[in-house]
């Protein structure tokens, strides 16, 4: 065990820091959920990142990455959040589908999809959930019917993040009509502007169109777009979910930066609040650091050849609950101003706390609810009997 | 940067675990407490013979010359098995302190006798109002007006302070310090006492982590056995979620404890905050785990008959020893408000106290 960065890791940190200082837009980009313009501004940023070969440092060099390991990815993330760089509009692509493509995709599929993903030309949305298949994802009904070299997709997907503006979707479809539950499903990629796709934007709790409903009516895609074997979609999809919950979805730096902002907010208002708030601020720092330490331990283990299992569920519960506690503490400090929108003339330093608080409430829901994660921990980690 | 244990570290810990697994079953705790005893001499002898006491003692003084990170897993196992004998305090606190005073004959002699298993040294510290195991020790470390004395047990007045934990014999210790008992004057003692406290807190945290795991293991096992309404109670989601919540707490105390050990024994602002963080996180995990285990066992959990209470009591005791949660929150706060925070500072070290 050695908890010091190597000189190479320190040099890497200095590199990315310098690049971010030179390249991060001075003014924050408009939200990618609020408008097409905001979405496109974020797409342009993805291209800038990719031009600097900073889009995904763990990717192999031939796809625009640097072939670095997970510790360096963590360092990258630390500097990225520290610099206040834009949120990654293509996170579903580069963090989730990308690694899945590298594991399950054919060389042709990788060549077709990865470069366009890396440079932001194609922004990806996930299409798992359906109106009747939320937590119970295996209940999905959307189907893909094989016709020659094509699949014809029909069905109804919902809650697809960023799908209102994104270019491509990936999701599970039933390729075997006689199948049930986890069997007979395939993971298929489809363009969101294909004939037969109708998207219905869904405003989120803050009014922005962060997700969309997708109505698919005989959407024809080449069989080339199936990732992994036919009927093996569930296993492929779980690989993606493992990445999402486990590591890539929420890097620790995000919460450490939030904890830092909370400390600064507290310092400005410490004479207005009592000791319980101070304790909550210290707790937020401890929890964010605990999460970082845990991810460093996981990254070290994976680098040494380990795999991520049910601890992905442990992580997801921890960061989502920590985030809510952190955001609530900020609102407690803001007091009567907590309800003000940043445009209010006397909003002062309310900044983005209210929006972050609202978004934190989604944490225990998306990527598998925390109730489902607790079931997974109990059954797969602790070995308790299935219900 | 590599946050994994070496093979040597896990192997040594496995040896200790196997010994404890064989020698420290709950039945042995039960037998000891029924006899009103706090120590098992035969078990202690085996621990001494394994050479574990000298992990933190330099090789020149007869130890293994290793560091806190090499002992942390062993301390965790001691917590897990609820070991009554003072392996953690001796190997983790008393002996490295004595080893830091190689030129003081009184300290060197106590070190040698303890390493050989002939005697033990109890530890007084301003951070703990009472001294553990003072009755069974040959000598007692006693800070007086900032200076450090090593007094013979026979020369000390002990006032027993019975604890709910049957294996924790606590005493108020009074003794007449003299030039003969002095082993470090105030100036020399100050950094040593800081180290004593930090090691005490670190290894208490490691034991609490082990206790957290033990209580949850007991609860999980019971949840798989006990049936009600025709099913194992562990099939009910309310029970599952209780136990999963504990597991989350354990998983996020673990890396904090290990990180704190890895950056010990330095005692700057950052290191102390991490140790305090570890003590808080492990203490909360152990507390929730013990209480959950009681609940999951139903009335059994409230009975003397079932094992849970041993671990609940040790958890309660260690949560308040070597700094209360309040003390440790203060040290974490000193770091949060006294040095830069942010993702690039997770592993920052060495800042002096502000
Ligand atoms: C911000 C946000 C972004 C999202 N993005 C996407 C996306 O990009 N793509 C996508 O496909 N989906 C997305 N989702 C959908 C998300 O995956 C689902 O919301 C989630 O899986 C839960 O499904 P549900 O909403 O239908 O809730 P339900 O399954 O109806 O659950 C409702 C409540 O019942 C509980 N519950 C359900 N079953 C059980 C059980 N067996 N035991 C105990 N409790 C249970 C749940 O935990 C929850 O509290 C997103 C959701 C949010 C909030």
DSSP state of A30: P
Residues B219, A17: Cα–Cα separation, whole Å: 48
Nearest CA in chain B to A75: B344
Is position A243 within any domain?
A: no
Among A119, A51, A41, which residue's Cα sits nearest to residue A87? A41
Is position A386 within any domain?
A: no
Residues A199, B81: Cα–Cα separation, whole Å: 59
Give yes or no: residues A220 and A254 share one domain. no
Give yes or no: residues A318 and A361 share one domain. yes
Is position A351 within any domain?
A: yes
Which residue among A281, A304, A375 sits closest to B237, beta carbon to beta carbon? A375
Give the angle B19-B21-B26 at the CA atoms, nearest 5°: 130
Give yes or no: residues A61 and A144 share one domain. no
Give yes or no: residues A154 and A186 share one domain. yes
Among B287, B262, B294, B275, which residue's Cα sits nearest to residue B209? B287
The pLDDT tens digits for B171-222 are 999 999 999 999 999 999 999 999 999 999 999 999 999 999 999 999 999 9
DSSP state of A85: P
* pLDDT at position B116: 96
Average pLDDT score, chain A:
95
Is position A2 within any domain?
A: no
CB B227 within 8 A of CB B256: no
In total, the C-beta contacts within 8 angstroms joining chain A to chain B are 165
Q: Is the pLDDT of residue A308 over 90?
A: no
Which residue among B1, B256, B343 sits closest to A5, beta carbon to beta carbon? B1
Nearest CA in chain A to B249: A318
Percent pLDDT > 70 in chain A is: 98
Superfamily name with CATH number, domain B188-353: Butyryl-CoA Dehydrogenase, subunit A, domain 3 (1.20.140.10)
Give yes or no: residues A254 and A365 share one domain. yes
Residue indicated by tokens 């992905």 = A312
Tokens of B125: 């510290």
Domain extent, residue A205, equals 124-231
The domain segmentation of chain B, as residue ranges, is 7-184, 188-353
Residues A171, A141: Cα–Cα separation, whole Å: 12
Residue A171 CA, closest ligand 1 atom number: 11
Phi then psi for residue B226, to 5 deg, are: -75, 125
By the 10 Å C-beta count (0-12 exposed, 13-18 middle, 19+ buried), A356 is classed as: middle
Residues A113, A239: Cα–Cα separation, whole Å: 18
pTM: 0.97
Chain A, 275 to 294: residues with Cβ < 8 Å from chain B are 278-279, 281-282, 285-287, 289-294
The CATH number of residue A142's host domain is: 2.40.110.10
Mean pLDDT of A15-39: 97
Is position A239 within any domain?
A: no
Please indicate whether residue A244 is annotated as part of the active site: yes
Chain A, 214 to 243: residues with Cβ < 8 Å from chain B are none
* pLDDT at position B185: 98
Which stretch of DSSP H or E encloses residue A217? strand A211-222
The pLDDT tens digits for B163-184 are 999 999 999 999 999 999 999 9
Question: What DSSP string runs through B134-202?
Answer: GGG-SEEEEEETTEEEEEEGGGSEEEE---SSTT--EEEEE----TTTEEE-HHHHHHHHHHHHHHHHH
Asked whether this chain's domains B7-184 and B188-353 adopt the same fold, the reply is no
| Residues with pLDDT less than 50, chain B | none
The pLDDT tens digits for A241-269 are 666 556 777 899 999 999 999 999 999 99
A264 lines ligand 1 (CB under 6 A): no
SS3 A357: helix
Phi then psi for residue B343, to 5 deg, are: -65, -20
Is position A107 within any domain?
A: no
Residues A323, A331: Cα–Cα separation, whole Å: 13
Give yes or no: residues A130 and A227 share one domain. yes
CB B20 within 8 A of CB B44: no
The pLDDT tens digits for A163-180 are 999 999 999 999 999 999
Among A161, A209, A167, A212, which residue's Cα sits nearest to residue A33? A209
> Which candidate in B244, B289, B345 is best for mutational testing of the A interface (most A CBs within 10 A)?
B244
Hey, is the C-beta of A22 within 8 angstroms of any chain B C-beta? no
CB B138 within 8 A of CB B156: no
Contacts of B221 (CB under 8 A, 6+ apart): none
Hey, is the C-beta of B130 within 8 angstroms of any chain A C-beta? no
The partner residues of B125 in beta bridges, in order of sequence, read: B128
Q: Which of A72, A89, A106 is the last residue of a domain?
A: A89
Could you say which of A244, A264, A272, A371 is catalytic?
A244
The pLDDT tens digits for B294-327 are 999 999 999 999 999 999 999 999 999 999 999 9
Distance from CA of B229 to the nearest CA of A (A): 13
Rg (CA), chain B: 20
Q: Is the pLDDT of residue A199 over 70?
A: yes
Among B276, B215, B224, which residue's Cα sits nearest to residue B247? B215
- pLDDT category of residue A387 using cuts at 50, 70 and 90: confident
Residues B267, B260: Cα–Cα separation, whole Å: 11
Find the distance separating the first CA and the last CA of chain A, reported in whole Å: 40
Q: What is the dihedral of CA A357, A360, A365, A367, to 10 degrees?
A: 150
Residues B218, A294: Cα–Cα separation, whole Å: 25
Which residues of chain A neighbour B251 with C-beta distances below 8 Å? 294, 311, 314, 318
CA A6 from centroid of its chain's CA atoms: 29
Selected from 3.30.70.20, 1.10.540.10, 2.30.30.40, 1.10.1660.10, the CATH number assigned to the domain covering B7-184 reads: 1.10.540.10
Hey, is the C-beta of A76 within 8 angstroms of any chain B C-beta? no
């Amino acid at each position: 065990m050695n908890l010091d960065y190597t000189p190479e890791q320190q040099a890497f940190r200095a590199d990315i820091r310098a690049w971010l200082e030179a390249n991060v837009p001075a003014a924050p980009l408009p939200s990618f959920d609020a408008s097409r313009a905001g979405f496109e501004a974020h797409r342009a940023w993805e291209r800038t990142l990719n031009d600097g070969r900073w889009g995904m440092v763990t990717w192999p060099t031939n796809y625009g990455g640097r072939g670095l390991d997970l510790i360096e990815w963590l360092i990258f993330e630390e500097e990225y959040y520290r610099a206040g760089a834009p949120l990654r509009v293509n996170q579903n692509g580069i963090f989730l589908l990308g690694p899945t493509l590298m594991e399950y995709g054919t060389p042709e599929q990788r060549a077709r999809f990865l470069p366009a993903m890396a440079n932001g030309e194609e922004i990806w949305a996930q299409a798992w959930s359906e109106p009747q298949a939320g937590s119970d994802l295996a209940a999905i009904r959307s189907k893909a019917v094989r016709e020659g070299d094509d699949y014809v997709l029909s069905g109804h997907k919902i809650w697809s993040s960023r799908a209102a503006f994104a270019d491509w979707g990936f999701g599970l479809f039933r390729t075997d009509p006689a199948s049930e539950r986890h069997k007979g499903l395939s993971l298929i990629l489809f363009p969101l502007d294909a004939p037969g796709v109708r998207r219905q934007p869904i405003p989120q709790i803050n009014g922005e169109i962060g997700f969309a409903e997708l109505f698919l009516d005989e959407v024809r895609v080449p069989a080339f777009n199936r990732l992994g074997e036919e009927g093996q979609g569930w296993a492929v999809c779980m690989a993606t979910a493992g990445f999402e919950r486990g590591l890539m979805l929420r890097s620790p730096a995000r919460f450490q930066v939030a904890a830092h902002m909370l400390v600064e907010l507290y310092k400005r208002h410490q004479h207005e609040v009592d000791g319980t708030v101070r304790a909550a601020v210290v707790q937020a720092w401890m929890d964010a650091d605990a999460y970082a330490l845990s991810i460093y331990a996981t990254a070290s283990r994976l680098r040494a050849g380990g795999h991520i299992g049910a601890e992905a569920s442990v992580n997801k519960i921890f960061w989502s609950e920590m985030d809510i506690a952190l955001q609530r503490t900020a609102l407690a400090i803001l007091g009567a101003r907590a309800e003000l929108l940043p445009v209010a003339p006397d909003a002062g330093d309310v900044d983005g706390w209210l929006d972050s608080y609202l978004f934190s409430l989604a944490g225990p829901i998306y990527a598998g609810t925390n109730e489902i994660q607790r079931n997974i921990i109990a059954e797969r980690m602790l070995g308790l009997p299935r219900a | 940067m590599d946050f994994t244990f070496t093979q040597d570290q896990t192997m040594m810990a496995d040896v200790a675990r196997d010994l404890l697994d064989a020698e420290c079953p709950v039945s042995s705790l039960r037998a000891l407490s029924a006899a009103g005893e706090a120590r098992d001499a035969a078990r202690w002898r085996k621990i001494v013979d394994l050479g574990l006491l000298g992990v933190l003692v330099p090789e020149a003084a007869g130890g293994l010359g290793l560091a806190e990170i090499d002992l942390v897993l062993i301390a965790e196992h001691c917590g897990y098995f609820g070991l009554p004998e003072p392996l953690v305090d001796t190997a983790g606190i008393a002996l490295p302190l004595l080893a830091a005073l190689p030129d003081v004959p009184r300290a060197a002699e106590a070190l040698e006798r303890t390493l050989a298993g002939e005697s033990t040294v109890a530890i007084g510290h301003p951070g703990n109002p009472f001294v553990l195991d003072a009755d069974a020790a040959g000598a007692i470390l006693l800070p007086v007006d900032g200076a450090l004395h090593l007094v013979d047990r026979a020369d000390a007045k002990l006032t027993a302070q019975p604890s709910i934990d049957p294996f924790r014999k606590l005493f108020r210790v009074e003794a007449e310090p003299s030039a003969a008992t002095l082993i470090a004057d105030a100036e020399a003692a100050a950094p040593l006492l800081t180290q004593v406290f930090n090691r005490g807190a670190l290894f208490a945290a490691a034991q609490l982590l082990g206790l957290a795991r033990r209580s949850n293991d007991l609860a999980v096992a019971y949840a798989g056995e006990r049936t009600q309404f025709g099913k194992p109670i562990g099939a009910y989601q309310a029970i599952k979620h209780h136990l999963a919540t504990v597991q989350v707490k354990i998983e996020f105390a673990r890396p904090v404890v290990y990180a704190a050990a890895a950056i010990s024994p330095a005692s700057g602002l950052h290191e102390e905050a991490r140790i305090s963080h570890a003590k808080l996180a492990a203490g909360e995990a152990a507390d929730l785990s013990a209480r959950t285990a009681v609940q999951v066992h139903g009335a059994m959990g409230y009975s003397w008959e079932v094992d849970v209470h041993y671990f609940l009591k040790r958890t309660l005791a260690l949560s308040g020893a070597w700094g209360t949660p309040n003390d440790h929150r203060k040290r974490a706060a000193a770091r949060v408000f006294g040095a830069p925070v942010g993702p690039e500072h997770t592993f920052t070290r060495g800042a002096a106290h502000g």
